[in-house]
Chain A
Amino acid sequence: MMKKKLILALIGVSLFMLSLANADGVGENIASSNGGVASLRGMSELNVTRAADQMKRVQRDRSPIDRDYVYQPPLIPHQTRHYELSLNANKCLSCHSWKYAGEMGATKISVTHFQSREGQVLSDVSPRRYFCLQCHVVQADAKPLVENNFKRVEALR
């Protein structure tokens, strides 16, 4: 009789200790810590959504921007807000297609945009080049996220 009580008491105490240990574990949950490392999203905890950065103001309208390296897709020197680029319509090509570029005073899309993946020249813009904003982007006055010592090659300086 005495032995049975002792065993029950021991089980009770060990269960209590176990629950304490578990409670400690929750506090050190690895998924809720940034490990003290600052990343591009700052020092915010992984399980916390930090406030979003302010939207950048896109440069409105300026002359074409020089390229920084030889195969760089030219940057967009104007706003593109609400220019539809979808299966139905491509507003970029209303000025930059070969058909309209002269009349609109815009830069023509390059001949590479008419080539298929195998280098075959097509009669119209290749579907793989249709979504302009995949490579060409609008510009904003933004601070570089990381330090950068990139310099243009001699020929482009």
Chain B
Amino acid sequence: MKWILLYWHKLRSPSNAAVGAVLGLGFVGGIMFWGAFNTGMEATNSEAFCSGCHAPIVREIKETIHYSNRSGVRAICSDCHVPHAWTDKIVRKVQASKELIAFAMGTISTDEKFYARRKHLAVREWQRMEENDSQECRNCHNFEYMDFSEQGQRSVRQHSTALASGEKTCIDCHKGVAHELPDMSNVPGWH
């Protein structure tokens, strides 16, 4: 009878070595998972990945100031279209899983399909940036550090009033700064 109790006790009490092994495996596994997860997520932020579907944009962005300019500072797709803060980024990436279905169905697989759908895609992105107060613009273009004496009169006029008061946000006026525009009829601020 006694040996049964002993055996039971042994089963119930965890061995120190096992605890260490489990913790160690968890720690190493965690690092590996995190590394792989982040690498994978970074890969979906690369220009090569984006242009796989949004091919026509690769052509048109080359003329814009966010691709080519005097000082060589550049923004790539994800700088503007993926939030930088971690939680927001995860939320956006989860939403983007829907875009994988669009990829499978070939929703924008040809130039014609892409241009036909362009307004829908653009309106969604403008909406997103209006809601987060153009956060992705502001990651680089910080209002606090704008020098109005260096800006043109027209820029000062808008930035010192509507932008300063928060009545407007960047995207309200700066649509298509890195893109060609879709049909702009019925878009506020456009003829």
Q: Which residues of A contact B (CB under 8 A)?
A: 60-61, 78-79, 81-82, 84, 86-90, 93-94, 97, 99-100, 105, 125
Please list 7 pairs of residues, one from A and one from B, whose beta carbons are closer than 8 Å in the complex, sorted by A's number. Answer: A61-B155, A79-B152, A82-B64, A84-B176, A88-B181, A89-B183, A94-B191
Q: Which residues of chain B from 150 to 191 have a CB within 8 Å of any chain A CB?
A: 152-155, 157, 176-177, 180-184, 189-191
Q: Do A89 and B189 contact each other (CB < 8 Å), given the known contacts A78-B152, A78-B154, A82-B63?
A: no
B96 contacts partner chain A, Cβ-Cβ < 8 Å: no
Partner of B176, one of A87, A89, A93: A89
Give CA–CA (A125, B185) in the complex, Å. Answer: 14
Please tell me if the beta carbons of B152 and A105 are within 8 angstroms of each other in the complex: no
Please tell me if the beta carbons of B65 and A89 are within 8 angstroms of each other in the complex: no
Partner of A89, one of B153, B157, B181: B181
Partner of A97, one of B177, B183, B191: B191
Give CA–CA (A84, B190) in the complex, Å. Answer: 11
Give CA–CA (A69, B66) in the complex, Å. Answer: 39
Residue in chain B with minimal CB distance to A98: B191
Interface SS, B side: loop
Please tell me if the beta carbons of A82 and B190 are within 8 angstroms of each other in the complex: no
Interface SS, A side: loop
Give CA–CA (A105, B190) in the complex, Å. Answer: 16
| Residue of A81, A93, A94 with most chain B CB atoms under a 10 A cut-off | A94
Q: Do A94 and B181 contact each other (CB < 8 Å), given the known contacts A60-B152, A89-B176?
A: no
Please tell me if the beta carbons of B152 and A93 are within 8 angstroms of each other in the complex: no
Least CB distance from B157 to A in Å reads 6
Residue in chain A with minimal CB distance to B63: A82
Please tell me if the beta carbons of B184 and A88 are within 8 angstroms of each other in the complex: yes
Give CA–CA (A61, B155) in the complex, Å. Answer: 10
Please tell me if the beta carbons of A94 and B152 are within 8 angstroms of each other in the complex: no
Give CA–CA (A126, B177) in the complex, Å. Answer: 27
Give CA–CA (A78, B189) in the complex, Å. Answer: 20
Residue in chain B with minimal CB distance to A63: B153
Q: Do A61 and B154 contact each other (CB < 8 Å), given the known contacts A89-B190, A99-B191?
A: yes
Residue in chain B with minimal CB distance to A97: B191
Please tell me if the beta carbons of B191 and A82 are within 8 angstroms of each other in the complex: no
Residue in chain A with minimal CB distance to B176: A84
Partner of B191, one of A60, A79, A81, A90: A90
Please tell me if the beta carbons of B177 and A82 are within 8 angstroms of each other in the complex: yes
Least CB distance from B148 to A in Å reads 12
A-side contacts of B152, CB under 8 Å: 60-61, 78-79
Please tell me if the beta carbons of B189 and A86 are within 8 angstroms of each other in the complex: no
Least CB distance from A106 to B in Å reads 8
Give CA–CA (A97, B155) in the complex, Å. Answer: 18
Q: Given A61-B155, A78-B152, A88-B183, 11 more contacts at CB 8 Å? A: A60-B152, A61-B153, A61-B154, A81-B65, A82-B63, A84-B176, A89-B181, A89-B183, A90-B184, A97-B191, A105-B157
